[in-house]
Homo-oligomer: A and B are copies of this chain.
Amino acid sequence: MVLMSGKELADSIKAGVRAEITANGLDVGLGVILIGDDPASEKYVEIKKKACEAAGIGFKLHRFTKSNSQDEVLSLIRKMNSDEKVTGMFIQLPLPDGFVPNELLEAIDPDKDVDGLNSVNLGKLIKGLPGLFPATPEGVINLLRYYQIPLAGSKVAIVGQSNLVGRPLSQMLLTEEATVISANKLTKELKEVTLEADIVISAVGKSKLITADMVKNDAVVIDVGTSLYKGKLVGDVDFVGVSKKASYLTPSPGGVGPMTVAMLLSNLVKAYNFQHKRGNHGNK
């Protein structure tokens, strides 16, 4: 069994981003919007800040409290849209009650939308056009490519259909010409679905959801879920059991997680290049 190290690939992507920024003198600047005081959000923002600083990306945090208004946030987004120094931005989710995430996400200039959650970018996924795409599913695709797992013609089961992971991931895999099975909480006999898949990707957040009897011999198993089990962060996959059957398996934590930050950095360079017409951009 090969352990798929997201950390190894993430480190190599981060080094590549840093090298491209340094070699070409790119002035990449990220604006981050954080609303409220959720401790997990604070932690994630801190991790992203450190990664940006290490890669030579300018990082500016804009804080709002629960008592600020949706309109105040909207007006900052519009300001950053027209500020050439801001080449990428994202809003740390989830938002406190009273804020409408979709209205804020849709207001971001699609070419600066480094989280890939604007409808324009998600629509490009369905069309198979270049764009900025959500970091976690991009991380999964890149991890599969790095370990040279064949996607075209393979049967891939995705368990969990969130807007952030499962749904965009299914479209990425269709672009790769995989046969995609999208399962959700209403799927009867989940085991039947996962047992026939060459690749099983679980993105639910329910510990021990995927057990050894649910995957076929030599399957590739990617664990995207996170939940708390006895006070510890764990994935969806029963690692010990599944490791005896799978040919490739991600650890969790340390598998897909580190890829998310790496893909954010990669998106920041992509966004910069779109804005400066350095790369191929489907929409222009």
Q: How many A residues face the partner with a CB closer than 8 A?
A: 42
Q: Using a CB-CB cutoff of 8 Å, which residues 171-203 of chain A contact chain B?
A: 171, 174, 177, 179-184, 186-188, 192-193, 196
Contacts of A283 on B, CB cut-off 8 Å? Answer: 102-103, 106, 119
A236 shortest CB reach to chain B, Å = 17
Instruction: Say whether A170 faces chain B, with CB atoms less than 8 Å apart.
Output: yes
Contacts of A122 on B, CB cut-off 8 Å? Answer: 119, 122-123, 126-127
Report Cα–Cα, A34/B86, bound state, in Å: 41
Query: A46-54, A161-169, A237-245: which one contacts chain B?
Result: A161-169
- Give this chain's copy count: 2
Q: Let me know if A129 and B153 touch, CB within 8 A.
A: no
Contacts of A152 on B, CB cut-off 8 Å? Answer: 186
Report Cα–Cα, A171/B13, bound state, in Å: 31
Report Cα–Cα, A184/B154, bound state, in Å: 11
Instruction: Say whether A87 faces chain B, with CB atoms less than 8 Å apart.
Output: no
